[in-house]
Amino acid sequence: MTTTAGHPTTAAEPAPTYSHRQVLVVLSGLLIGMFLAALDQTIVSTAMRTIADELDGQTQQAWVTTAYLITSTISTPLYGKLSDNYGRKPFYLFAIGIFVVGSVLCGTADSIYQLAAYRAVQGIGAGGLMSLAFTIIGDLVSPRERGRYSAYFMAVFGTSSVLGPVLGGTLAGQATLLGVDGWRWIFYVNVPIGLVALFVVWTNLHLPKRRSTERVDVLGAGLLTAAVIPVLLVAEKGTDWGWSSPLTLGLLAAGLVSLGLFVPWERRLGRAAILPLHIFQNSIFTTSSAVAFLTGLAMFGGLVNLPLFLQIVRGASPTEAGLQMLPLMVGIIGASGVTGRMMSRTGRYKIFPVIGTAVMFATLLAMSQLQSDTPLPVIMAGMVAFGIGLGLSMQPLVLGVQNAMPPTEMGVATGSVVFFRSMGGTLGAAVSLAVLFGTLTSHIQSRAREAGLPQAVIDRFGKASALDDTSVLATLPEPVRRAVLDGFADSMNLSFLAVALTLVPAFFLALRIREVPLRGQGPGGPPAAQRVEAETAIL
């Protein structure tokens, strides 16, 4: 298929037709791969304290998370563009393979810096596992039929968000398992799961081969990487470095310069660019990407607070906190299942992110009133509501973008939406934690004064380092412990509120999404008139 006159050519074989049973078989491999990436985001965080102790790197442990985050985020749009040009299957198999290799390497790490480097290898694979799973299912079935499968993707996400903390805490709590350090199994467990995914995808996924004469946009990929890495570094480490420090400002300046070079270069390459700028002329893509960014910010901003509230304020262990978050999974799976069926039946999707952002806003607003003595059933009810909001919001945005873009650009469009959601999630976690720990000492001191505690106690909590090890809470006298827990709750309330406010523009942007009814003509593609309508939805 020739993109436009004068542009490089991408040719593809006719698409095969899949039965529902065949789709489910392929889907199982995609979900296993996606499960690896989704689980890895939560299982490691729970065990990170134990791992850092074992590797003598407690103060450097943030680099383990940052390295994974950087490579997984920047690789996402690259997978999308390359798979558009050269086919999905080779890149999905590569993503699974490199993730498994990275997992084996992580299990052999002898220092915190080695682990960070190996996590970066894992992240390269994770970037493809998340985005290409959505893209491949888009190749198999029409957008309208796609809705019935969306619940499976959300079930994987919800299950991993709950299973990760439980499994991570359990494995990290084992001194040894089969003669190997318990924490190393957090990475080794990925190997058999990944091999199963490789086998299923290799033997059952048969997509058209693509042949492209486009050159690979190496410079564009480098400039995009140079623009994104400083932002992610500042988001992760800005609190430690200082938001106005020379290092922070220098990194942001470097990112802006790279972005300034990236945009004209991509405009010059046109459709051959690693991130073609013309897709931003499509109002559905642009608006949906903005909503995905903001909902990602709210989602991770909220999710990073919930386990902390359960563990610090309510005193739950990591395993207990994971089990207590089961209502979140129930909300996600239930809402996404209903949403998928209704999208398949009606062909409409816009209403779901509108309702979802409103539900998430109301839930986070309610969570900003939590106190240290709030009953657990009330907190769990909030988790159900938050899960419902997520289930309503996430998949329809990706589906709407896929429906609005031509099949030849579905990979880069899907990858870009996931990219913006990941960027939002990174900033959301950073903002949430910055608000939490930036206000923590003042809130604890305020609560201590209200309780009439001695000035020496108030002064003790004037430094954030006083609570670097939260296990000391159990040793504090009850009046002091109560003041500290109430201070934590106050800071978390402010953090929930800050994250909730980002959903106000998300709601109004969701109202502006131009809805094109989902196509239902199967793998053969949409009628020409409807494709033209979708492609010309210009801002």
Indicate whether 176 belongs to any domain.
yes
pTM tops 0.75: yes
Domain identity same for 161 and 241: no
Q: What percent of the chain has pLDDT over 70?
A: 87
Question: What total of structural domains would you count in the chain?
Answer: 3
Indicate whether 490 belongs to any domain.
yes
Please report the pLDDT score of residue 113 as a whole number: 86
3-class DSSP state of 539: coil
Domain identity same for 406 and 282: yes
Q: Rounded to whole angstroms, how far apart are CA atoms 206 and 15?
A: 9
Indicate whether 419 belongs to any domain.
yes
Query: Which of 286-295, 372-381, 419-428, 524-533 has the least mean pLDDT?
Result: 524-533
Indicate whether 438 belongs to any domain.
yes
Instruction: Tell me the pLDDT band of 466, cut-offs 50, 70 and 90.
Output: low
Domain identity same for 185 and 326: no
Q: Which two tokens stand for residue 184?
A: 């190393």
Domain identity same for 300 and 359: yes
Domain identity same for 299 and 402: yes
Domain identity same for 353 and 489: yes
* Domain C-terminal end among 227, 255, 273: 273
DSSP string across 206-266:
----EEE-PPP-HHHHHHHHHHHHHHHHHHHHHHHH-TTSHHHHHHHHHHHHHHHHHHHHH
Task: Tell whether the model's pLDDT for residue 336 goes beyond 70.
Answer: yes
Indicate whether 308 belongs to any domain.
yes
Domain identity same for 202 and 242: no
Please report the pLDDT score of residue 99 as a whole number: 94
Beta strands in 88-209 (DSSP E): 176-177, 180-181
Indicate whether 167 belongs to any domain.
yes
Domain identity same for 442 and 305: yes
Domain identity same for 302 and 448: yes
Q: What does the angle CA 393 – CA 94 – CA 101 come to, to the nearest 5 degrees?
A: 100
* Domain C-terminal end among 215, 230, 261: 215
Indicate whether 1 belongs to any domain.
no
Indicate whether 248 belongs to any domain.
yes
Domain identity same for 306 and 447: yes
Domain CATH for 48: 1.20.1250.20
Please report the pLDDT score of residue 211 as a whole number: 64
pLDDT tens-place string over residues 238-263: 777 887 889 989 999 999 999 999 99
Domain that includes residue 117, residue range: 13-215
Domain identity same for 153 and 36: yes
Task: Tell whether the model's pLDDT for residue 129 goes beyond 80.
Answer: yes
Angstrom distances, CA of residue 335 to CA of 28, 325, 356: 21, 16, 9
Q: Which two tokens stand for residue 272?
A: 């051959």
Instruction: Tell me the pLDDT band of 51, cut-offs 50, 70 and 90.
Output: confident
Q: Rounded to whole angstroms, how far apart are CA atoms 360 and 335?
A: 13
Domain identity same for 134 and 255: no
